[in-house]
A and B are shown apart, each in its own frame.
Chain A
Amino acid sequence: MNFFESLLTHSPALIVAVPLLGAFLTPLISKINDKIRNAFVVFIVGLTGVLISMLSYDVLMNNKMHNYVFGGDSALIMPASGESFAVRIIFAVDGLNAFMIIIGAILAFVGVIYSWHFMKEHTGLDKYYTLVLLMIAGMLGMMLTGDMFNFFVFLEITSISSCALIAFYTNKGKSVLAGFKYIVISTIGALFILFAIALLYGQYNALNMAVLANSIQFNTFTDKIALVLLISGLGMKAGIVPMHMWLPDSYGQAPSSVTLILIGTTQAGLYALFRMVFTVFGRHITSPIELTIAGNNILAGTNLNSIVGIILVVLAILTMIIGVMMALKESDFKRMIAFAAVAEIGYMVLAIGAAFFTLSPSEITIEGVQVTFYSFSQAGQMAIKGGLFHIINDALDIGLLFLVAGAIYYVTKETSLNKLGGLARNMKFTTIFFIIGLLAVSGMPPMNGFASKLLIYESIYLINPILAIVAILCSILLLATFVKVLHSVFLGPKIPKFDEVKEVPASMLIGMGLIAIVIIFFGLFPNLILENIVQPAADALMNYSAYIGGSLL
């Protein structure tokens, strides 16, 4: 085995281990020099990015699943008694995981580059970079792990480090309060998730997601409670209305570079919600099988899809409408973008939730046994593809807008929209980046937001026209929201207070430019992204048995 192949084999572990090592080395290195420390952090995140692109390329292009077991060869251990227990921690990487870590890599890299100049004038930067790297490691761990308890641990690592980062401006009372709210909310959510994990462990003696998916019977009350706790706990982590109130507080008060990575952690929560619903409870929610043997109908699994679909769609509609209406009224720049982010999350949940209604039975007769499979229709598959594509687009668009808000804050020390104005004359590049973000987030061609929103609208129109109309209406309101920002921050007469304002430093422009380039690239070649990245992820999401087969063998 040559070096490259062994690196590829070990990459799932290294993706988490390299930022962790970097996080603990940063306080030691920052004793030398500030520039060396910044370069070291960028190097560590870049190395992680290279590993992620290697792994994702292999998983997505060759359509194969990577498994990495810590401390042994197989996740199962067999004591002398002959039974086998899946006790080792496993990282199982299929198409969906590979798709998510690409988002994580982009956000982490841009965030670290952006903070080079953005955070320069603050003290305590060694702790800042340690926490950022810890947060990146936790986020990538959440996206990679195939073990329920390990997922909880990474969730807590992420929430602790991001809470400390939200409260980074300790001289402002608001940001400390936002950090406190965030830690209370995320701890309670995580504890209920842990409770659900414990319920599942008590029943099936397993923590491995594949083993659980294989053995869940869903015939007891505790299974139902576990599903309820998982949906609501992870929904809270993903910021679904009405559990979204922590999100504007924390997004609004954190430093912009941190907010960028916070978006990644929120979407890791969303990913986990989809993973639980589609894979761990997949047999009972998305792909139940009915057997008819000699006239007797045996349902191998419980058909829960319509109930879960209704829950997701109702929450998604609420999320879109309330998010966008609060954004329209808000007069604080960062809180407004945060409410827009809430509304965008609604689109993803709506697309995935509406797909549940298209599950339809198809019958096959094998050796006299009539088997009924449930599978997604064409429109449902399109909706799932659109929802997944929108995850990456939303991360980029909202991320770019937050970076612009950070740039405005950097030069004016002001986030209130009422006090800003006329900045386009002095900040040309920032204005262009903001217009790109505005067009992308409200779904205008040729930006990436249009491609995914078009997929969502047209596929949902086939499922239920009213849902599509609500989605389009919310998109229009989003456009109105950001046109207001464009007017009140960038256009209008030059305000004397901001006469001396200059364009932001190079590293911040590079950070915003990178995301803007990716946005335009995704917008101009959506077919490339859909075929090569989104399609494998959607296939992995819809086929829970491939996950079980791939990670247990």
Chain B
Amino acid sequence: MITWESFLGSFDTGSGIWNPLVWVLSIIFILLIVYSIRRYGKTGYKEKTDQTQSFLSGNPEYEKEQMHIKASNMYWGFTESLKFVYKILDRMHTGNVSDYVLWFVIVLGCIFVLIGVI
């Protein structure tokens, strides 16, 4: 039967415990701090003046679509430094049905060697 203890209880993870209640209390506390800091901010700014314009070291602003960083440009460093891995991965994902079946047969063979022969 469902009890209130099981609703709010914490569970054992093998080497520790976790209770979301603690997390909820702490997040409320942090939000209070954030709110209290935010209260010191100044209210009110003048619209339609230079205050609302973005400042790019004096350069003119680009078009909106060019301002947006494209998804494939993100994490460039990560993909560049792991190029050798991605080369292999791209060669794996050919999008070709026969290769999919070939991988299945390869795995079948490996598991067969592990279970059936050894």
Q: Are A451 and B85 in contact (CB under 8 A)?
A: no
Which residues of chain B come closer than 8 Å to A311, judged between CB atoms?
Answer: 111, 114-115
Which of A26-34, A39-47, A227-235 forms contacts with chain B? A227-235
Interface residues of B in 61-118 (CB under 8 A from A): 64-65, 67-72, 74-75, 78-79, 82, 85-86, 89, 92-93, 95, 97, 99-101, 103-104, 106-108, 111-112, 114-116, 118
- When the two chains form the complex, which single residue of A185, A232, A485, A523 contacts B108, counting CB atoms closer than 8 Å? A232
Which chain A residues lie closer than 8 Å to B99 at the CB level? Answer: 245
Say if the beta carbon of B37 comes within 8 Å of chain A.
no
Of B6, B15, B95, B118, which is within 8 A of A462 by CB?
Answer: B15
CA distance A417 to B68 in the complex (A): 11
The 8 Å CB contact of B6, one of A236, A524, A532, is A532
Q: Please tell me if the beta carbons of A527 and B69 are within 8 angstroms of each other in the complex.
A: no
Cβ of B60 < 8 Å from any Cβ of A? Answer: no
The answer to whether A307 has its CB under 8 Å from any CB of chain B is yes
Contact B112 A228 (CB under 8 A): yes
Question: How many A-B pairs with Cβ below 8 Å?
Answer: 170
Contact check, A325 vs B103: say whether CB atoms are below 8 A apart: no
* Least CB distance, B78 to chain A, in whole angstroms: 7
Query: B116–A225 contact, CB under 8 A?
Result: yes
Give the contacts of B24-82 with A (CB-CB under 8 A). Answer: 24, 27, 64-65, 67-72, 74-75, 78-79, 82
**Contact status A188-B114, CB under 8 Å:** no
Bound state CA distance, A209 and B108, in angstroms? 23
CB-based contact A524/B97 at 8 Å: no
Take A181-B100, A243-B104, A494-B64 as given contacts and tell me if A451 and B18 are in contact as well, using a CB distance cutoff of 8 Å.
Answer: yes
Chain A residues, CB < 8 A from B95 = 245, 249
What residues of chain B lie closer than 8 Å to A495, measured between beta carbons? Answer: 64-65, 68
Contacts A228-B108, A480-B75 known; A462 to B14 CB distance under 8 Å? yes
Are A484 and B97 touching (Cβ within 8 A)? no
Q: Which of B1, B27, B74, B85 has the most CB of A within 10 A?
A: B74
Q: Given the interface contacts A228-B116, A232-B111, A458-B14, does A417 sit within 8 Å of B24 by beta carbon? A: no
- Cβ contacts under 8 Å, A496 to chain B: 64-65
The chain A residue with its CB closest to the CB of B15 is: A458
User: Whose C-beta in chain B lies nearest to the C-beta of A483?
Assistant: B74
In the complex, what distance in Å separates the CA atom of A376 from the CA atom of B112? 26
Knowing A224-B115, A326-B89, the reply to whether A236 touches B71 (Cβ < 8 A) is no
* A525 partner, pick from B7, B16, B27, B71, beta carbons under 8 A: B7
Say which residue of A386, A422, A525 sits within 8 Å of B68 (CB atoms): A422
Partner of B8, one of A229, A236, A525: A525
Given contacts A243-B103, A495-B65, contact A229 B18 (CB under 8 A): no
A70 to chain B, nearest CB (A): 33
Asked if B6 and A527 make an inter-chain contact with CB atoms under 8 angstroms apart, the answer reads yes
Contact of B12 among A188, A326, A382 (CB under 8 A): A382
A199: Cβ under 8 A from any B Cβ: no
For chain A residues 501-553, which have a beta carbon within 8 Å of chain B? 523-528, 530-532
Complex alpha-carbon distance, A530 and B23, angstroms: 18
Is A310 in contact with chain B by the CB < 8 A criterion? Answer: yes
In the complex, A494 Cα to B68 Cα: how many Å? 9
> Does A528 contact B6, Cβ atoms closer than 8 Å?
yes
The answer for the CA separation of A487 and B1 in the assembled complex, in Å, is 45
Contact call A242/B86, Cβ cutoff below 8 A: no
The number of residues on chain A lying at the interface, defined by a beta carbon within 8 Å of a beta carbon of chain B, is: 73
Using CB atoms, name the residue of chain A closest to B113.
Answer: A228
With both beta carbons as reference points, the residue of chain B lying nearest to A419 in the complex is identified as B70
Flag if B78 contacts A328 (CB, 8 Å).
yes
- Chain A residues with CB under 8 Å of B7's CB are 525, 527-528
Q: Which residue of A lies closest to B100 (CB)?
A: A245
Q: Let me know if B103 and A227 touch, CB within 8 A.
A: no
Residue of B nearest to A180 (CB): B97
Closest to A484 in B: B74
Contacts of B9 in A (CB 8 A): 527, 531
Determine the chain B residues whose CB is within 8 A of the CB of A497 once the complex forms: 65
Partner of B104, one of A188, A227, A307, A532: A188
CA A446 to CA B116, docked complex, whole Å: 45
Q: For residues 298 through 338 of chain A, which have their beta carbon under 8 Å from a beta carbon of chain B?
A: 304, 307-308, 310-311, 315, 322, 325-326, 328-329, 331
11 pairs from A and B in contact (CB 8 Å cutoff): A185-B104, A188-B104, A231-B111, A307-B114, A325-B89, A422-B68, A458-B15, A487-B74, A493-B67, A496-B65, A532-B2
Binding site for A on B (CB under 8 A): 1-2, 6-16, 18-20, 23-24, 27, 64-65, 67-72, 74-75, 78-79, 82, 85-86, 89, 92-93, 95, 97, 99-101, 103-104, 106-108, 111-112, 114-116, 118
Rank and list the top 8 A-B pairs by shortest CB-CB distance, nearest first.
A417-B71, A488-B71, A382-B14, A459-B14, A458-B13, A492-B68, A421-B68, A527-B9
- Known contacts A243-B104, A325-B85, A488-B71, then 13 further A-B pairs from the complex at CB < 8 Å, ordered by chain A residue: A185-B100, A185-B101, A188-B104, A242-B106, A245-B103, A325-B86, A328-B78, A383-B14, A421-B65, A461-B15, A484-B74, A496-B64, A525-B8
